């Protein structure tokens, strides 16, 4: 478990791409043989991955979705959003990429009954949390349509319950995750919430968690150039001053980043 002031080890590995496939919708699942990072990674942390074929100088920060400490692999789930990730998606099994990590501060996972709340690609880093929870966590996931919720079968082996919302009502409860969340908080005894997704969603989830007096952590996403806290490109304002998402986060207590500054 991460503690304030603790310096965690980082590694640079030339990782073999063991598997690389797409479940659809421009999303890719990449499995990398990276034993040193797999041994040390914590839920909520990320890695910086080099882009193959020299298409970009900067690495791409990707959340760690799953690990096998015994087999020495890490799994990354990402969506194509630009030239860098498009080039990464073209990499084939058997190729190698340089991986730096594990980076950042992860979730506090020592919870008795956590609720994970995610939307879109925010469900990727929460998957690691689910796997580490060994069946004690439940997940509330949201998407625009049923097609976006391929995540359900990925999460199913790891969680106690899966709750689903879709914007168009094509699957699960019609609406957003915040449509169903009050009902879950009213009838269940969760001792913590971990959330990752669009900023507006996270802020609304944080407000609902506070109204039910449930501790909440959020994983922020910002553009990162270095991933090590040197370039300041990912700095955000918090209750305690400016913080670097790549180093002080990406996981923060919700009341640290969503607060009344007046």
Three-class secondary structure assignment of the chain:
CCCCCCCCCCEEEEEEEEEEEEEECCEEEEEEECHHHHHHCCCCCEEEECCHHHCCCCCEEEEEEEEECCCCEEEEEEECCCHHHHHHHCCCCCCEEEEEEEECECCCCCCCCEEEEEEHHHHHHHHHHHHHHCCCCEEEEEECCHHHCCHHHHHCCCCCCEEEEECCCCCCEECCHHHHHHHHHHHCCCCEEEEECCHHHHHHHHHHHHHCCCCEEEECCCCCCCCCCCCCCCEEEECCEEEECCCCCEEEEHHHHCCCCC
Return residue ranges of the chain for CATH 2.40.30.10.
Answer: 11-103
User: Closest Cα to residue 241, out of 259, 224, 225?
Assistant: 259
Annotated binding site: 77-79, 84-85, 226, 231, 234, 246
* Average pLDDT score over residue span 101-129: 95
* Average pLDDT score over residue span 207-224: 91
Topology annotation, domain 114-258: Rossmann fold (3.40.50)
Q: Has residue 42 got a pLDDT over 80?
A: yes
Give the pLDDT band of residue 7 (cuts 50, 70, 90).
very low
CATH architecture of 11-103: Beta Barrel (2.40)
| Token pair of 47 as six digits | 């890695």
* Average pLDDT score over residue span 63-70: 96
Give me the pLDDT at residue 235, please. Answer: 86
Give me the pLDDT at residue 203, please. Answer: 95
Give the pLDDT band of residue 4 (cuts 50, 70, 90).
very low
Annotated binding site for [2Fe-2S] cluster: 226, 231, 234, 246
Interior/surface letters 223-262, b for 16+ CB within 10 angstroms, e for the rest:
ebebbebeeeebbeebeeeebbbbbbbbbbbbbbbbeeee
* Average pLDDT score over residue span 188-217: 96
Give the pLDDT band of residue 225 (cuts 50, 70, 90).
low
- Is the bond leading into 250 cis (omega within 30 degrees of zero)? yes
Annotated binding site for FAD: 77-79, 84-85
* Average pLDDT score over residue span 233-254: 89
Give me the pLDDT at residue 20, please. Answer: 97
Give me the pLDDT at residue 199, please. Answer: 92
Contact between 211 and 187 (Cβ < 8 Å) = no
Quick one: CA dihedral 133, 253, 247, 89, positive or negative?
positive
pTM, whole model, 2 decimals? Answer: 0.91
């Amino acid at each position: 478990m991460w503690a304030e002031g603790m310096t965690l080890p980082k590694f640079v590995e030339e990782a073999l791409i063991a598997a690389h496939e797409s479940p659809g919708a421009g999303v890719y699942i990449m499995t990398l043989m990276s034993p040193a990072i797999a041994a040390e990674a914590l839920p909520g942390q990320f890695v910086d991955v080099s882009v193959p074929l020299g298409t970009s100088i900067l690495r791409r920060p990707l959340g760690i979705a799953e690990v096998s400490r015994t087999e020495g692999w890490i799994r990354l789930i990402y969506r194509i959003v630009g030239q860098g990730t498009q080039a990464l998606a073209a990499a084939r099994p058997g190729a190698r990429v340089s991986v730096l990590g594990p980076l950042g501060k992860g979730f506090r996972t020592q919870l008795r009954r956590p609720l994970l709340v995610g939307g879109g690609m925010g469900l990727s880093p929460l998957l690691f949390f689910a796997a580490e929870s060994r069946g004690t966590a439940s997940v509330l996931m949201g998407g625009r349509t049923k097609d976006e919720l391929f995540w359900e079968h990925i999460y199913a082996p790891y969680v106690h319950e899966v709750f689903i919302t879709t914007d168009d009502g094509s699957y699960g409860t019609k609406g957003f995750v915040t449509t169903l969340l009050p009902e879950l908080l009213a009838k269940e005894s969760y001792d913590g919430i971990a959330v990752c997704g669009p900023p507006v969603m996270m802020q609304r989830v944080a407000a609902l968690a506070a109204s039910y007096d449930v501790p909440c952590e959020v994983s922020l996403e910002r553009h990162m150039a270095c991933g090590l806290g040197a370039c300041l490109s990912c700095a955000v304002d918090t209750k305690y001053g400016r913080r670097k998402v790549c180093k002080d986060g990406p996981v923060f207590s919700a009341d640290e980043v969503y607060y009344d500054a007046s």
